[in-house]
Structure 1
């Protein structure tokens, strides 16, 4: 069991690191080398094809036709809506701000669970929600548009909406995960997202200068990284972590996305340090800690934990 726990910890470190680097890679590509909606299509179609191929070699899973249709529709609205909002937001704001809103997903999961699944709301959890929302408000209200963020306000709002949509998707998909299995879940939800992305692209058009000659190495390399590692491998590593680690530990690993994205952003010049942004980051981290961790007391959650995929 010790080896399994070590493998689970390693899986979470690798998964969250990829997710953090994904923020920086996407920001490099958006919108100069690829339009946000075209980027969504690339990710959804590639993931759908990859998960169907991987699922063919995986352990057989059973699911009713009704569940498959439900998952397809959930992906068509949930995953596509999440990626649409996230890439639109990231194209307008900085990677650090986008990662800040991604880290809020556990807070939205809890709020939705209180309203729709009768989860108990304690004083500490309510305080955590308010602190986290205060951090989001601080980030939205203080960040100004500049050469690194063409429209910081709308970009941050898009990222905020994306984190809410993903929380809804997580709660709904979790209700089918145990009876359908992870590979069935990923195949049908990403198939739905792929269909939605292709329909939208048919109307808005294809726009990706990185595929127009002369081809450039770094844009192509970063696109391949985004498609293979954060989009596919990160999703495959998460079940290993969730199987052998407590949700408390998984929640702590979620902060790696914010840490990695922030460090890389400052090193490569994708963001500039600001006290307001640091304050927002700390407030949201504290809020998530109180909501997700402080009252666990070593017990497993009945509600789903957000894997914080970007």
Structure 2
């Protein structure tokens, strides 16, 4: 099996885990663990796992000039994107989260144009407009009243903001992934992520009542730490060694399908007209903006 095929399988695996995560993580917040405390728990657990697994990896030294880039990647990929996503998910619903996360390819396209001067043709511009229109529809017109979703418009906005930060991370990380082994890169990335998330999540982390957590919540936390954090970042960082950032971000197409079906199957969310219309606009926008232009 070729490395490219393995990279595609890794990207599909990461997307599947992310799709399930919208509902699984939502069940933990905010009743058992606060959003920021959950993020700190994620980076602490994943950091420990990456340092452990790096014992069997190559022994590499980070060049001094690369520490700043790794720190910037940690800010966008380990810090602010996790903080705003989990806070947004705690305020919104699993289906809204699964739909809005598909704006990542659109964000990557915009950032690629700004940061690396990638040309955007007219159809892609139209796709960006349609996709963002759908995202704005979810933010402005979601008026559900749910006890587990106290501020859906704000939550939706924060989830959209996560796409911007994660898209920036994908572009910045591409250079470092081609230079360092994934284990080396990820252990330093998550270690720096602890420093970034600690001021935000320290208090909520201390408030976790571990002895009172039911098994259902424990396995959800384990899934988020080991699956959504450790394996997905490992899968994505390996996929980046063989795929373009824009190609990897396109695998987010699968995420809403998995996320919506799982949320509906478990009875954790429902479809509304606003969600259907907004999701359709986002999918059309992502399709138009991601299609290759015929020469």
Q: If the length of structure 1 is used for normalisation, what is the TM-score?
A: 0.86
Query: Which residues of 2 match residues 155-166 of structure 1 at below 5 A?
Result: 155-166=155-166
Query: Contact 2:108–2:171 at 8 Å: present in 1 too?
Result: yes
Query: Which residue number corresponds to residue 109 of structure 1?
Result: 108
1:222 is aligned to 2:220: yes
Counterpart CA distance in 2 for 1:49 and 1:215 is 22
Report the counterpart of residue 64 of structure 2 in structure 1: 65
1:111-260 equivalences under 5 Å are 111-147=110-146, 148-202=148-202, 206-209=206-209, 211=210, 213-242=211-240, 250=248, 252-260=250-258
In the alignment, the residues of structure 2 paired with residue 77 and residue 110 of structure 1 have an alpha-carbon distance, to the nearest angstrom, of: 17
Secondary structure, counterpart of 2:143 in structure 1: coil
In structure 2, the residue matched to 1:288 is 286
Contact residue 92 and residue 149 of structure 2 kept, 8 A: yes
Separation of aligned partners in 2, 1:200 and 1:24: 23
**Compared with structure 1, are the counterparts of its residues 90 and 63 closer, same or farther at alpha carbon in structure 2 (3 Å cutoff)?**
same
1:272 aligned partner: 270
Give the deviation of 1:229 after TM superposition. 1.2
Contact 1:4–1:244 (Cα < 8 Å) also in 2 = yes
Query: Structure 2 CA distance, aligned partners of 1:100 and 1:186?
Result: 27
Deviation at 1:248? 7.9
Shift of 1:177: 2.3
Q: Give the Å deviation of 1:234.
A: 1.8
5+ residue gaps, structure 2: none
Cα distance, 1:249 vs. partner? Answer: 6.6
Separation of aligned partners in 2, 1:172 and 1:249: 15
TM-score using structure 2 length: 0.90
- Residue-by-residue CA offset, 1:190-230 (whole Å, 9 max, x unaligned): 11111122233346662324x1x334110001111111112
C-alpha distance in structure 2 between counterparts of 1:246 and 1:77, whole Å: 18
SS of 1:179 mapped into structure 2: coil
Shift of 1:274: 1.1
Residues in 1 aligned to 2:225 and 2:136: alpha-carbon distance in whole angstroms: 32
Please give the root-mean-square deviation of Cα atoms over the aligned residues, in Å: 2.4
Q: Does the C-alpha gap of structure 1 residues 70 and 237 become closer, same or farther in structure 2, counting only changes over 3 Å?
A: closer
Encode CA deviations 1:223-251: one digit per residue, 9 max, x unaligned: 11111112111222235545566778745
| Cα offset, 1:123, TM superposition | 0.4
Count of residues paired in the alignment: 294
Gaps of 5+ in 1: 298-310
Partner of 1:305: none
Q: Is the 8 A contact 1:76 1:190 kept in 2?
A: no
CA contact (8 A) 1:251 1:293 kept: no
Q: Deviations over 1:171-193 (max 9, x none)?
A: 22223221233223212221111
